[in-house]
Amino acid sequence: MKKLFILLFVLLIISCSIESNENKIGIVIHGGAGTILKENMTAELENSYMIKLEEAVTKGYDILKNGGSSKDAVEQAIRVMEDSPLFNAGVGAVLTNDERVSLDASFMDGENLNAGAIAGSSYVKNPISAAIAVMEKSPHVLLSSKGADDFAIEMGIDTVPNSYFITERRLNSLRRLKDKNVSYKDPFIKDSKFGTVGSVAIDIKGNISAGTSTGGTTNKIWGRIGDVPIIGAGNYANNECCGISATGWGEHFIRNVVAYDIAAQIIYKNENIVDASKKSLDKVKATGGDGGVIGLDKNGNVAMEFNTAGMYRAHIDNEGNITIKIYKD
């Protein structure tokens, strides 16, 4: 009898081990959605985007493959994009009406629903890291402007002069708008509102994390803040269902609470993540907005949906298969 109990105990351990190993890892990223047309893209620029998307998604996947957390995978993938002038986040972010950069970011942990965000930062080199620090080292969820920068400095997070973020490309874009006498009271003109970066990952423990980072909209005024730092609008993660990161016209993503709306459809209606994402984007379109979302559900199924001409996106699944795309299929 004793031998039987020992055998059953060993089988139980093996079973638990197999079950644990069945958890699927995966990561998906986006680098913004908008009027991204192949005919407007040089071969050199397209290649630059493809290389950087591969670098970012691979950086995150390598962490997951080696048993690391989804939090670390999301943070490092986003930092790659924040450090690239190709995207509207960190260096290379779009400029406000007064020719400065103002940065927003958020992060959410699906295991415990903890979250952190910053808005209107002028000096944080990697806003996603500051958002994580808000989650881990403060009693708050969202810090803004000078307070966010002061917190980052106190936490020892890298800060840089605002001029570090400004590129000639973004400065010229803003000044072209001003030369055309585009009203500063109406900054949401065509192609001014896209370029946000984001990532969602699921690790071997089944924990889902989501992060999003942006410079907002070109020519923005009055300290405008979009959906990115608002949990449930531009970012959401919950191990019970999924993780979501959004990009697009932030006001409409706020009004439609897009990231949580997708999660709610999965939880309460048993919708799959692709259909849920499409339905939420239909709501955005109905109110006059557009954009895209990426997400992973608790089983590792991926969504990369958008209602614009294109979206910079990449995904690596549990088997290590990589997908990188820019345009519509």
**Which residues are known catalytic residues?**
196
- What are the structure tokens assigned to 264, written together? 């709610």
Strand partners, 238: 242
H and E: helices and strands count for the chain:
9, 12
Report the sign of the C-alpha dihedral through residues 176, 186, 223, 88, in that order: negative
Task: Give CA separation, 159 vs 75, 102, 129, 155, in Å.
Answer: 17, 13, 11, 11
Q: Which of 70, 87, 80 is nearest to 27 (CA)?
A: 70
Do 225 and 104 meet the contact criterion of CB atoms below 8 Å apart? yes
DSSP state of 48: H
HSE, CB side, 13 Å, CA atoms: give it for residue 216: 29
Compute the distance between CA of residue 77 and CA of residue 313 in angstroms, rounded to an integer.
Answer: 12
Q: What angle do CA 64, 127, 258 make, to 5 degrees?
A: 75
